Chain A
């Protein structure tokens, strides 16, 4: 099986390239070339993209690339939605047998019930979340028009070694290393429920989706276990000394965790990495090595 991964140099992409290269022939696309099997091709350059895909005849395309940056709606639309349409167009032209699209938990917006299943109302709050929902609709268009087999994975909050410092776990660790306080009040005094899935489990879910016989499916990929910011801070405190501060604020929490029974039943997905001391130590090492 020949696989193409877009966003190959990103956080998930780089882990996925390692994970899949054990069993498959993998190429990656990225805005920056970082290794021999990664090609620097912009997804907005459809001609170049089509030429590359015709030449390499991929069986599976895993589309991870997306822009998270706050920009104008048009910029966000071009970077995320037009790029998705371009890659799907090329997939249809080159008879790709399976497309995996990485969507986001953010498409749901505020939780109306828990755990959130795939039928939960979609009320995206940010432009990024809205662009992901539009991309899902574009996926449906290509599936309906060309019969392109597509699996959409709505990924929860992901953690693991190599993650950008702006996310909660690296932020807490970096602040602790620098003897700074952890501001728990950002998460409703630390009581807001969240769902964290390890990047290895995300790679496993993507790999299972590649092998799925289903022609079209949408799946939540998460741990399915609620955790609070306080829980995470407590776990981090087992490996580093931390200074928590919690200030009372009058802000409504958006509690989030996900029903993963569809992914369990149809893909055979079962998260196996727990957010515990050993896992956090790995992340801590990767952070310290970059400081």
Chain B
């Protein structure tokens, strides 16, 4: 379990991005992972922003319960099978 170490409200979008980015950064630091070897799979524009800030490749998992992000140039997948294939193609790169 990772803890961001601070408390801020998650009503404001900029705070949500800050929380996600901080958590992602903390995991990378604690686990001593090379950010180039990380793939972030998320389902919101905040996830995309967090990955972009840390220069981590991002895959957008579309779902039926959140608004579909449009206008962003995203690596999109719609189900787990597509995700598996996407990861395999990215690993092979």
- Whether A111 lies near B18 (C-beta < 8 A) is yes
Is B6's CB under 8 angstroms from A113's CB? no
Main secondary structure of the interface of A (DSSP, over half): loop
B67 CB to closest chain A CB, in angstroms? 22
Find residues 1-40 in chain B having any chain A CB closer than 8 Å to their own CB.
4-6, 8-9, 12, 14-15, 18, 21-22, 24-25
Query: Is A112 interfacial (CB 8 A cutoff)?
Result: yes
Among A114, A191, A253, A255, the one with the most B-chain Cβ atoms within 10 Å of its Cβ is A114
CB pair B54–A226 under 8 Å, yes or no, is: no
From A112, A115, A191, give the contact of B8 (CB < 8 A).
A191
Q: How far is the CA of A252 from the CA of B6 in the complex (A)?
A: 17
- A108 interfacial by beta-carbon distance below 8 Å: no
Classify chain B's interface size: 10 to 19
Q: Would you call B14 and A114 a contact (CB within 8 A)?
A: no
B22/A252 in contact, CB under 8 A? no
Question: Is B12 a contact of A193 with CB atoms below 8 Å?
Answer: no
Interface pair B9/A114, CB less than 8 Å apart: no
Q: Name the A residues within 8 Å of B12 (CB-CB).
A: 252-253
Question: When A252-B14, A255-B18 are in contact, do A113 and B25 touch as well, CB less than 8 Å?
Answer: yes
Give the residue of B8, B15, B18 whose beta carbon is less than 8 angstroms from that of A113.
Answer: B18
B68 within 8 A of A: no
* Cβ of A233 to closest chain B Cβ, rounded Å: 17
Q: Does B53 contact A (CB under 8 A)?
A: yes
Q: List 7 A-B contacts (CB under 8 A).
A: A112-B21, A113-B22, A114-B18, A115-B5, A191-B8, A191-B9, A255-B8
Using CB atoms and an 8 Å cutoff, list the residues of chain B in contact with chain A.
4-6, 8-9, 12, 14-15, 18, 21-22, 24-25, 53-54
Binding site for B on A (CB under 8 A): 111-115, 191, 193, 226, 252-253, 255, 257
